[in-house]
């Protein structure tokens, strides 16, 4: 069967959350099917990734994406009822490519609701809407943490995007989310629409405790640092939690590891004990130096790859409810969950003081992801989904 796969970014290399998932989806599908990709290209790194995909035998067509220009062009939508998302990721060029490619496809798979919009005109074939996040719920969370006027903008986006998500979810053959929690949110917001859980995994061979040589007092966070929940969480941690930890453990240091740090994140380097690395080729080198991984996110829903990767590396994790709720492990056994500033600081301090507890949490974390997050196991439902859609309405495979 021929599958047309749409994503906001070129799905290679798997070096950030959405690319990890999209590459794994493409890799799994192409074992038994012909997969062709259409994606926005966010610069030369994406173009290089597209060339690598073609070299591996995965056809891909891209359209350049210019973030600032796209956002500026979307502003007139504020005067109407369309969500800004559809303007920010709207593209006549990409729509033309989808219209051409879909003529030869047996099935179409869109990752993120903004990409699902390009499939709306094509109801003749089975379509899957994979909500990397239920974006309307994300904007709702943003609106609750912002003051005017952005709280109004985010509230409007949550409302208008939910109407779009409802329309698209009820017209596609299947909808996919990555956690049971997100399925509950989805079913409450869009009752009656079918929804399948396809959770993320972690590369257990790549992210492995071997070579772990921690430095005393080293704390670590990994993530793309122009993503608002990551930036907001790190700022909160440095301003409100780290000083409490350093009052008890002056040797404690915090490394913020990830590409594209915003000016506000860069400014955190002025705080004693804080390092902002920017882009690194291999996050494992920094995680191996850490005694503890922290995940102080206050806006999140799905499975956080940063948490899975730290657990796979054999690191004890202290995170918020938002950061850990999608993982499904047990607080106190596999990681520590704290939402209040002092409680978070106390949990980190306790782990810094107790090597035996650090080792126990690290071992339990690694064992948990080995059992529950192997990519081969977690993506088994994808094979069944494709087979079911083909049986229900896809044309005979041309493969």
pLDDT tens for 159-178 read 999 999 999 999 999 999 99
DSSP state of 374: B
Q: Tabulate helix, strand, coil % of the chain (nearest 5).
A: 50, 15, 35
Question: How do residues 297-321 score in pLDDT, each as one tens digit?
Answer: 999 878 899 999 999 999 999 999 9
Count CB-CB contacts under 10 A for residue 188.
9
d(CA 397, CA 25): 19
Q: What's the average model confidence in pLDDT over 129-134?
A: 89
Per-residue DSSP letters for 5-16? EEESS---S--S
**pLDDT band with cut points at 50, 70 and 90 for residue 260:** very high
Check residue 104 and give its pLDDT: 94
For 96-116, write each residue's pLDDT tens digit. Answer: 999 999 999 999 999 999 999
CATH topology of domain 2-198+379-392: Rossmann fold (3.40.50)
Judge whether 259 and 279 are in contact, CB under 8 Å. yes
Name the more confident of 239 and 85: 239
What's the whole-number mean pLDDT along residues 70-83? 86
* Residues whose CB falls within 8 Å of the CB of residue 80, separated by 6 or more in sequence, listed in order: none
pLDDT higher than 90, residue 2? yes
42 Cβ neighbours under 8 A, 6+ residues apart:
9, 10, 65, 67
- pLDDT level of residue 396 (50, 70, 90 thresholds): very low
Quick one: which H or E segment has residue 225? none
Percent of the chain topping pLDDT 90: 84
pLDDT at residue number 393: 66
Top pLDDT among 358 and 303 is at 358
**Ranges of CATH 3.40.50.2000 domains, the chain:** 2-198+379-392, 218-372
The order of strands in the sheet holding 2-7 is 60-64, 34-41, 2-7, 107-111, 127-130, 174-177, 196-197
Mean pLDDT, residues 256-262 taken together: 97
Question: What pLDDT does residue 75 have?
Answer: 85
What pLDDT was estimated at residue 301? Answer: 75
pLDDT for 161 equals 94
Percent of the chain's residues with pLDDT above 70: 98
Kindly tell me if the per-residue pLDDT of 398 is higher than 60.
no
Q: What is the mean pLDDT of residues 351-378?
A: 97
Q: Across the chain, what does the average pLDDT equal? A: 94
d(C-alpha 177, C-alpha 185), whole Å? 10
Distance, in Å, from the CA atom of 59 to the CA atom of 40, rounded to the nearest integer, reads: 14
pTM of the model: 0.89
Pairing outcome for strands 196-197 and 218-222: unpaired
Higher pLDDT pick, 16 / 358: 358
pLDDT of residue 203 exceeding 80 = yes
Which CATH class, in words, describes the domain spanning 218-372? alpha beta
Query: What average pLDDT does this structure show over 344-357?
Result: 98
User: Predicted confidence band at 139 (pLDDT cuts at 50, 70, 90)?
Assistant: confident
**397 pLDDT band (50/70/90 cuts)?**
very low
């Amino acid at each position: 069967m021929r599958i047309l796969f749409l994503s906001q970014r070129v799905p290679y290399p798997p070096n950030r959350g959405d690319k990890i998932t999209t590459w794994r989806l493409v890799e799994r599908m192409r074992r038994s099917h012909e997969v062709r990709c259409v994606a926005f290209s966010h610069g030369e790194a994406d173009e290089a990734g597209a060339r690598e995909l073609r070299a591996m035998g995965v056809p891909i067509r891209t359209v350049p994406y210019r973030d600032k220009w796209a956002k500026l062009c979307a502003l007139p939508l504020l005067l109407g009822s369309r969500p800004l998302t559809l303007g920010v990721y709207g593209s006549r060029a990409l729509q033309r490519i989808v219209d051409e490619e879909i003529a030869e496809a047996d099935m179409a798979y869109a990752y993120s609701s903004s990409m699902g919009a390009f499939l709306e005109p094509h109801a003749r074939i089975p379509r899957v809407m994979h909500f990397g996040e239920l974006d309307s719920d994300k904007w709702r969370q943003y609106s609750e943490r912002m003051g005017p006027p952005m709280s109004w903008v985010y509230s409007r986006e949550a409302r208008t995007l939910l109407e779009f998500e409802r329309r698209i979810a009820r017209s596609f053959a299947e909808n996919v989310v990555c956690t049971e929690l997100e399925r509950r949110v989805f079913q409450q917001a869009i009752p009656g629409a079918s929804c399948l859980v396809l959770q993320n995994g972690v590369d257990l061979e790549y992210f492995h405790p071997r070579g772990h040589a921690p430095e005393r007092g080293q704390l670590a966070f990994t993530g793309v640092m122009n993503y608002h929940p990551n930036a907001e969480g790190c700022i909160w941690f440095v301003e409100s939690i780290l000083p409490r930890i350093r009052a008890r453990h002056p040797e404690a240091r915090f490394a913020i590891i990830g590409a594209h740090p915003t000016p506000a994140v860069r400014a955190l380097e002025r705080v004693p004990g804080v390092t902002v690395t920017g882009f690194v080729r291999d996050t494992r080198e920094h995680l191996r130096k850490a005694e503890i991984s922290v995940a102080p996110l206050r806006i999140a829903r799905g499975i956080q790859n940063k948490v899975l990767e730290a657990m796979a590396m054999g690191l004890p994790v202290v995170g918020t409810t938002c950061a850990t709720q999608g993982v499904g492990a047990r607080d106190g056994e596999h990681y520590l969950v704290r939402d209040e500033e002092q409680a978070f600081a106390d949990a980190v301090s306790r782990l810094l003081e107790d090597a035996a507890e650090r080792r126990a949490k690290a071992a339990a974390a690694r064992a948990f992801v080995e059992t529950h997050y192997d990519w081969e196991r977690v993506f088994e439902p994808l094979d069944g989904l494709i087979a079911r859609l083909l049986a229900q309405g896809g044309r005979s495979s041309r493969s």
